[in-house]
Each structure stands twice: as structure tokens, then as C-alpha cells.
Amino acid sequence: MTSLGDMFGAAEVGNRIDKATFKRDVPKVRAELLQMQRAIAQSPLAPVVHIGGGDELGKVSALGTLLGWLDARGVESVALPAPSDEERERPRFWRFWRLLPPRGQMAVLIGSWYTNPIVDRVYGRMDDVTFEREMRRIRDFERMLVQEGVPIIKFWLHLPKSVQKKRLAKVKRDPASRWLVGEEAWTYFKRYDRFRSVAEAALRLTSTGVAPWHVVESANDRYRNLTVATTLIAALREAQEVWASSRAQQGRRRRAAAPKPAKINVIRQLDLSVTIETEDYEAQLVRQSAKLGRLARQLHEAGRSMILAFEGPDAAGKGSAIRRLAAAMDPRLYRVISVGAPTDEESARPYLWRFWRHLPRQGRVTIYDRSWYGRVLVERLEGFAARDEWSRAYAEINEFEAQLSEFGIVLLKFWLAISPEEQLRRFRDRQTTPYKQYKITEEDWRNRRKWDAYEAAACDMIERTSTSHAPWVLVEAEDKRWARVKVLKTVCSRLADALTA
């Protein structure tokens, strides 16, 4: 029984293309596809084409056709098998971030972020609310990708139940294509109706303006493959046009923002006069370090991981606080990632990519010396990110951190605060101490002149990204030793909570 009311009704009408028409149309389609691919190669776009649906053979055939028609030098095909252990030890989306192509290239996927939620929902391993939450998460993920220059072009290859049945019966008789299909196809077919309704819900929830679904009737090889190709051409062309016009608008808004801090704000409210006595400092350092060593080991044994991010003005003491933390842990368990200018592989991808790539495996700790917050600090203030880009970054960052935290990663963010006078003292000290001179550059002085704007941006950031699972910890860092002890204590108490929760 076909319910003509659902999204697949129009893909059960018996669309087909005859041999002669196919033969006539293919050369033109191929030429256009190559032309679009060359246009993409010269653009800052990195399209991801997703081929989904219940027709395994059809997906393989469509993928094969696209790869045959496209220039291999600009396209990568990705068939996602079962996740590797390196993938299982990180949040679920890590493997998808991993496969994003660099600007100018394309990726064609079979299997994607839709596969698991759909299968899990069909088999009742995921309830309706969680399923919907997953679909909304996917929607946000895709919107972010599109805005970052990764057009998402999604095909759903649909077979009516009766055709699917015949197809599987035929496959059973043919050893070669049986292998292409995989054992689970028969099990899945028994739940055809359930798959259909779950898929329908998935498609409805995730067919957005920026990343619409293209449902393609898959029964006829020629119709399916030609339709996929022509739809792809149109979608790539549109993506290019959208990008060009949004860039033109953005260009006008790309100038640096120079926000002014409020008279009273979270940073100015800090009491920077707090200090710690030498004796007390040394005792605390020893005690807290020992405690951290024990807790980091328990974290490792529990197969959990931890991420610490440090931000703050130049010379606030991020490096020395990190050194004290690191010294307390088994050096085999942590990595310090110092975030500077991106490499070209990094700047060819969405800005969060370079942070995703360094996520720790289970049982490990990653410390970021400066972090993804650069997007709403230096990139905002220097105009490297357009207004659209940094202003949507708060939500993207919150989503990123929510995924880390859901996976069980202990996450803390530190803002080390000093006064402009203290910074000046430290800069001068660096200039006059021979082995510290390398630490001070013209850029530090330039940043210093923008102190107020940085402070205002930091307040915006703290306000918009302080969550219970990923809180900002404001650290009075005028007294370096006070700051080190506070950082150590905070990490210990957070770890202790996380490990007993």
C-alpha cells in the first residue's frame, strides 16, 4: 500500500528514461558536470554530496556513475564502514568532521550522520524525542557547514516496496550483486514500512532551505543516475550563486568591530588584589598537584577524557598555569595544543575543524593554549571573521561543547584576568630580561592598544558561552601564584565531581 501523502509518493510513479534519450543526454550532462566542478575548484566551496536511501544497489550505481563522470582530481568518495576504535573513542561527529574536503574539492558520501539515528529509531533503540533532538542537531550541523562554505547536497534514493522486493529476489540469485548489497538488506526489508516512516520523519525534519533533500525514484538505473547528476549540477550552481551574493553582502560588513566595555562587567568586577603567601602557595601547589595526579589517573582508568581551554590577555600567565597543571600529570596522558595561525589545510575548512582534529582519545587530556574562542575574540576584533561569522559562532561553539560534554568529556574554560597596568609591567620585564625577549613582539603592543575592545568581546563571550557543562572560570591572575593555585584547585574539584557523578 502506497500512501501518496508522504515524501516518497512522487518517487513511486514509475519514472524512467529510455536508452536512446540517455545516450543523447549523457554527453551534455557530463560536460556540464565537469564545468561545474572546475568552477568549484576555483571557488572557496567544498561541497559534500550525500547519497542515502534504502536502495543499496542504486546508491553504489549512482556513486559509481558520478565518480566516472567527474574529474577524479577534485572528488573524494567516502563509504563509511563501521567506526574504527579511534572514531569510537571520540564524540560521534568526529568522523564526519574528519572527512570534510578542503575548499575547491568535493566529497561524495554513502553512509552519513543519518544512518545511525534512523537504524536505531527503527529498532527502537532510540526514542522519539531523542530522535527528533538528533535530527535538530543534524540540521544545525548542516546549516553551520553551509554557512562555512560546505554546501550539503542530499539525495534519497527511493524504491517502492514491491520493486524493492523484486530487486532483492533478483540479487539473491546473482552472487556478484549480492555481495554489493550486504547481509542486512534482507533484515531491513522485513521492516520496510517502519524504515519508510522513520526515514520520512527524518527527511521532513532535515529538509531545510539551506540543505534540502532531493528524493529520487531509484527503480530505473538511467533515470536515477541522470537525475542525480542533473540535480547535482543545479545544486552546485545555486550554491555558487548563493555564496557569491552572501560574500558580496558580507564584504561590506567585514570591517573590524570595536565594541566598548560596559562600566561594570564580569571582568572588572574581579578583585585583582587577591594574593597568596609564599609558604601557603608552596604547600597548596604540592597538595593540589598530588591530588590532580591521582584524579587524572582515575580519569584515565575510567576511560574518560578532559579538555581544558585557556584564554586571556597576552602575558596573563596562561603558559605558566598550563605548565603547573601539566607537571602534575603523567606526561603520557596529556597534550598541549598551542593555537596560532592555522595551517593551509586548516584554513581550507570550517573554523572548528582544527579543534575537532585534536580531540583527545578516551582516557587522555588535551590542553588548548588559546582555543576556538579566537573566533569571537581576535578574529572578531581584527575583522578576520565577518559579522555573520563571529556572531553565529557563539551558538556553534555551544553546540560543539555540548557534544563534547554529552560524550562524557570533562570540559573547563579559563579566563586569566590581569589589569592593563600589570600587563605593561610584564611587557617591560620581558623586554629587559634577555631570555624572555622572544616572548614579546610588536603584535603584543598592537593588541594592547585595543584593550577595551578585547575586554568587551571577552565579556560578550563569557556571557554567551557559560554553560553548566562547560563553565567559564574567571581567574584573578594579577598574582601569578594565586592564579596557578586557583586553576589547579578548580580542575581538581571539577574532576572529583565528574568522577563521582
Residues that bind a copy of itself (CB under 8 A): 31, 34-35, 38, 60, 63-64, 67-68, 71-74, 76-77, 79, 84-86, 102, 110, 176, 179-180, 293-294, 297, 319, 322-323, 326-327, 330-333, 335-336, 338, 340, 343-345, 369, 435, 438
Helices (H), 329-413: 344-347, 353-356, 378-382, 387-406
Instruction: For a copy of itself, give the closer residue by CB, 228 or 322.
Output: 322
Burial class of residue 43, CB neighbours in 10 A (0-12, 13-18, 19+): middle
- Shortest distance in whole angstroms from residue 307 CB to a copy of itself: 16
Instruction: For a copy of itself, give the closer residue by CB, 225 or 465.
Output: 225
- Shortest distance in whole angstroms from residue 160 CB to a copy of itself: 25
- The residues, any chain, with a CB within 8 Å of residue 22's CB and separated by 6 or more, are 222, 226
All three cell numbers of 332 = 603520557
- Shortest distance in whole angstroms from residue 322 CB to a copy of itself: 6
- Shortest distance in whole angstroms from residue 65 CB to a copy of itself: 9
- Shortest distance in whole angstroms from residue 108 CB to a copy of itself: 8
**How many other CB atoms are found less than 10 A from the CB of residue 261?**
18
Instruction: For a copy of itself, give the closer residue by CB, 9 or 293.
Output: 293
Instruction: For a copy of itself, give the closer residue by CB, 209 or 331.
Output: 331
CA 236, chain centre distance (Å): 22
- Shortest distance in whole angstroms from residue 337 CB to a copy of itself: 9
Maximum alpha-carbon separation in the chain? 90
Instruction: For a copy of itself, give the closer residue by CB, 110 or 492.
Output: 110
C-alpha to C-alpha distance for 112 and 388, rounded to whole angstroms:
28
Instruction: For a copy of itself, give the closer residue by CB, 294 or 387.
Output: 294
- Shortest distance in whole angstroms from residue 250 CB to a copy of itself: 26
Instruction: For a copy of itself, give the closer residue by CB, 98 or 450.
Output: 98
All three cell numbers of 322 = 598550563
Instruction: For a copy of itself, give the closer residue by CB, 14 or 64.
Output: 64
Name the region of 235 (left: φ>0; alpha: ψ -120 to 50; beta: rest).
alpha
- Shortest distance in whole angstroms from residue 27 CB to a copy of itself: 9
C-alpha to C-alpha distance for 163 and 392, rounded to whole angstroms:
45
Give the alpha-carbon dihedral of 469, 89, 100, 385, to 10 degrees.
Answer: 30
Residue with cell 608552596: 282
- Shortest distance in whole angstroms from residue 72 CB to a copy of itself: 4
- Shortest distance in whole angstroms from residue 211 CB to a copy of itself: 23
Instruction: For a copy of itself, give the closer residue by CB, 14 or 68.
Output: 68
Helix (H, G, I), strand (E, B) or coil at 217: strand
Instruction: For a copy of itself, give the closer residue by CB, 1 or 176.
Output: 176
Burial class of residue 50, CB neighbours in 10 A (0-12, 13-18, 19+): buried
Residue type present at position 5:
G
Instruction: For a copy of itself, give the closer residue by CB, 369 or 388.
Output: 369
Q: How far is CA 109 from CA 52, 106, 291, in A?
A: 8, 10, 47
**Taking Cα atoms as reference points, which of 51, 105, 123, 38 lies closest to residue 80?**
51
In angstroms, how far is the first alpha carbon of the chain from the final one? 50
- Shortest distance in whole angstroms from residue 111 CB to a copy of itself: 9
- Shortest distance in whole angstroms from residue 400 CB to a copy of itself: 23
C-alpha to C-alpha distance for 312 and 487, rounded to whole angstroms:
13
Instruction: For a copy of itself, give the closer residue by CB, 176 or 264.
Output: 176
Contact status, residue 67 vs residue 6, Cβ threshold 8 Å: no
**How many other CB atoms are found less than 10 A from the CB of residue 192?**
15
Pair type for strands 213-217 and 152-158 = parallel
Give just the sign of the alpha carbon dihedral 479, 481, 483, 489: negative
**Taking Cα atoms as reference points, which of 189, 216, 192, 176 lies closest to residue 62?**
216
Residue with cell 624572555: 436
Q: How far is CA 199 from CA 50, 55, 134, 195, 225, in A?
A: 15, 13, 13, 6, 21
- Return the H-helix or E-strand segment holding 161: helix 161-173
All three cell numbers of 166 = 523484486
Instruction: For a copy of itself, give the closer residue by CB, 220 or 289.
Output: 289
